[in-house]
């Protein structure tokens, strides 16, 4: 390769045939398998190469160099990120923003404001000026030419849901499709794990519950489930019940306000924030960090344990899927999508609360330009489809949730994210809206798969659960929200994670009515403090 191209890699990449590959959980690759990958690459079949890597490693990033061409790609959710800086004849590709020039400079204001609002910089931009990120399910093909580089973006995996041209799919087809795809992914994951212990963060949600059930039904014995939070919180009751039914060991970490105060002041916390903000342009997923410190001290996990969270399946299966908003006119669809995303995730009141002097017109204009460039054709889907793509698949999952697993590596453990597998993303992209709405069919699949031993609501007959059901049934949601707006101190005190103890109450009271979250506070204090 000619001068003007440089790699700056921090992670331990390996050569597979003629390709550089990084995956945190990397099984051995035979010579014949490496030759298979080479055939895809030499033929310029970037999708074929991506699918091969996906099947072998799950999450991955790859870099291929040949002649005057450089190809860099990431998996369906960009679990292993890649960044690049392209300026004139110079092309720099790296896996950590701290390796790029300018990483120590003050980040652009709009980028900082986005991180404070939602936890990450949207689109290809990062907290380092001029450095961009390869987005979910993409390969970038850089071709050397006189005076610089040409760049082509190739999508190997998309998640544009609710398209008008989706084929019909009845309930039985959906259930059979889920079984086929999910069993394949779980089987591959267990092959990569081998005899090692699985550490499974088990919440009260459906995603981790599905993983636990499928691990048990696949015959995996060495699994430790864990939960954390305020003593007696609802999620811990559910997860303990699930672990008991499945015969898995269950561990709990008790959270207190004092624990979070100590965590907030720890030098190790500053080091970890640097790793995420400076290395990945996003805030870390902090919920389980104090729990993991407790468990490591108690030696709950074996030294070679593999951590396997259940991130993203609920998102793909419809947890954030709203009722259809149908705009067949492309410009009307775009504007409605932008308004929907702005109202839900970039609340003007919260933005003003943190940045009272910010050029809000410029901020929203910049966001609008990035959103418009996301898809060249805005007549392919309804508004909810584009909103899911931009925020919940391509942004929040690949940046915020994917960053959470990096802490396991930080502590010397490997991880796997089965539900982030591209085959699942591509399957659920083709599922009609009525099957994904409110996760209706996913719930039916889980009930059927559980065969009566694992109900969707394992504590449904407990007194607390009965009261909660009656409360949700008889008290309209708007009134429930008003309760927390009228009595902010109540929400400040009852949060099951206890982490609002790190926020002065006067600031919480000022910001809470605009959807304030602990991540807003951490990001603002780190970036602006």
* Confidence category of residue 323, pLDDT binned at 50, 70, 90: confident
Task: Tell me whether residue 343 is exposed, middle or buried, using C-beta atoms within 10 angstroms of its C-beta: 0 to 12, 13 to 18, 19 or more.
Answer: exposed
DSSP for 263-304 reads HHH-HHHHHHHHHHHHHHSB----TTHHHHHHHHHTT-S-TT
Mean pLDDT of 378-400: 84
Q: What is the pLDDT of residues 270-282, one digit of tens each?
A: 888 998 898 889 9
Mean pLDDT of 385-398: 84
Query: Would you state the pLDDT for residue 477?
Result: 65
Query: Would you state the pLDDT for residue 86?
Result: 93
Query: Would you state the pLDDT for residue 140?
Result: 98
Query: Would you state the pLDDT for residue 78?
Result: 94
State the chain's mean pLDDT as an integer: 89
Euclidean distance between CA atoms 49 and 42, whole angstroms: 10
- Is the per-residue pLDDT at 466 higher than 70? no
- Is the per-residue pLDDT at 118 higher than 60? yes
3-state helix, strand, coil in the chain (%, to 5): 50, 15, 35
* Confidence category of residue 472, pLDDT binned at 50, 70, 90: low
Structure tokens at 31: 């010579």
CB distance 407 to 289 below 8 Å = yes
Query: Would you state the pLDDT for residue 1?
Result: 45
Sheet with 223-229: strands ordered across: 249-254, 223-229, 198-201, 306-307, 414-415
Query: Would you state the pLDDT for residue 48?
Result: 98
Mean pLDDT of 213-227: 96
Share of the chain above pLDDT 90, in %: 60
Query: Would you state the pLDDT for residue 49?
Result: 98
Query: Would you state the pLDDT for residue 183?
Result: 97
Task: Tell me whether residue 194 is exposed, middle or buried, using C-beta atoms within 10 angstroms of its C-beta: 0 to 12, 13 to 18, 19 or more.
Answer: exposed
Euclidean distance between CA atoms 83 and 60, whole angstroms: 14
* Confidence category of residue 307, pLDDT binned at 50, 70, 90: very high
Query: Would you state the pLDDT for residue 459?
Result: 45
Query: Would you state the pLDDT for residue 3?
Result: 59
Mean pLDDT of 64-81: 95
Euclidean distance between CA atoms 418 and 187, whole angstroms: 10
Query: Would you state the pLDDT for residue 167?
Result: 80
- Is the per-residue pLDDT at 327 higher than 80? no
Highest mean pLDDT out of 232-236, 371-375, 475-479: 371-375
| Among the listed residues 294, 202, 203, 205, the one whose alpha carbon sits nearest the alpha carbon of residue 248 | 202
């Amino acid at each position: 390769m000619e001068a003007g191209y440089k790699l700056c890699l921090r992670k331990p990449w390996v050569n597979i045939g003629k390709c550089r590959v990084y995956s945190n959980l990397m099984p051995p690759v035979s010579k014949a398998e490496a030759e298979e990958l080479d055939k895809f690459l030499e033929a310029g079949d970037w999708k074929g190469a991506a699918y091969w890597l996906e099947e072998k490693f799950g999450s991955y990033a790859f870099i291929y160099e040949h002649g005057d061409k450089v190809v860099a790609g990431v998996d369906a959710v960009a679990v292993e990120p890649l960044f690049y800086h392209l300026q004139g004849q110079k092309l720099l590709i790296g896996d950590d923003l701290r390796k790029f020039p300018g990483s120590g400079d003050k980040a652009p204001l709009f980028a900082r404001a986005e991180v404070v609002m939602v936890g990450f910089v949207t689109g290809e931009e990062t907290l380092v000026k001029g450095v961009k990120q390869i987005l979910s399910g993409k390969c970038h093909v850089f071709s050397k030419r006189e005076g610089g580089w040409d760049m082509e973006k190739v999508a190997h995996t998309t998640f544009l849901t609710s398209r008008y041209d989706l084929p019909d799919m009845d309930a039985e087809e959906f259930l059979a499709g889920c079984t086929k795809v999910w069993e394949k992914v779980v089987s591959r994951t267990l092959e990569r794990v081998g005899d090692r212990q699985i550490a499974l963060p088990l919440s009260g949600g459906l995603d981790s519950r599905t993983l636990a059930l499928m691990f048990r039904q696949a015959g995996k014995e060495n699994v430790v489930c864990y939960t954390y939070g305020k003593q007696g919180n609802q999620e811990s009751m559910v997860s303990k019940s699930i672990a008991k039914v499945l015969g898995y060991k269950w561990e709990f970490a008790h959270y207190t306000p004092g624990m979070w105060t100590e965590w907030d002041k720890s030098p190790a916390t500053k080091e970890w924030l640097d790793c995420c903000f400076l290395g990945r342009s996003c805030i870390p997923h902090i919920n389980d960090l104090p729990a993991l410190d407790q468990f490591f001290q108690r030696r709950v996990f074996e030294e070679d344990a593999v951590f396997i969270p259940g991130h993203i399946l609920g998102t793909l299966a419809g947890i954030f899927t709203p009722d259809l908003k149908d705009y067949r006119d492309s410009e009307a669809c775009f504007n409605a999508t932008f308004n929907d995303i702005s109202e839900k995730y970039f609340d003007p009141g919260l933005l003003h609360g943190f940045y009272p002097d910010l050029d809000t017109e410029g901020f929203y204009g910049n966001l609008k330009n990035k959103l418009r460039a996301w898809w060249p054709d805005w007549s392919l889907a309804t508004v909810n489809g584009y909103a899911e793509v931009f925020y919940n698949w391509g942004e929040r999952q690949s940046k915020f949730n994917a960053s959470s697993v990096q802490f396991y590596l930080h502590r010397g453990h490997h991880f796997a994210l089965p539900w982030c597998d591209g085959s699942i993303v591509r399957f659920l992209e083709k599922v009609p809206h009525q099957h994904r709405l409110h996760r209706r069919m996913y719930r039916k699949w889980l009930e059927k798969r559980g065969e009566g031993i694992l109900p969707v609501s394992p504590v449904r007959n407990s007194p607390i659960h009965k009261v909660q059901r009656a409360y949700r049934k008889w008290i309209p949601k708007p009134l429930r929200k008003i309760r927390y707006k009228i009595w902010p101190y109540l929400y400040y005190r009852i949060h099951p994670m206890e982490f609002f103890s790190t926020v002065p109450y006067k600031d919480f009271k000022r910001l809470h009515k605009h959807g304030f979250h602990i991540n807003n506070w951490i990001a603002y204090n780190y970036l602006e403090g």
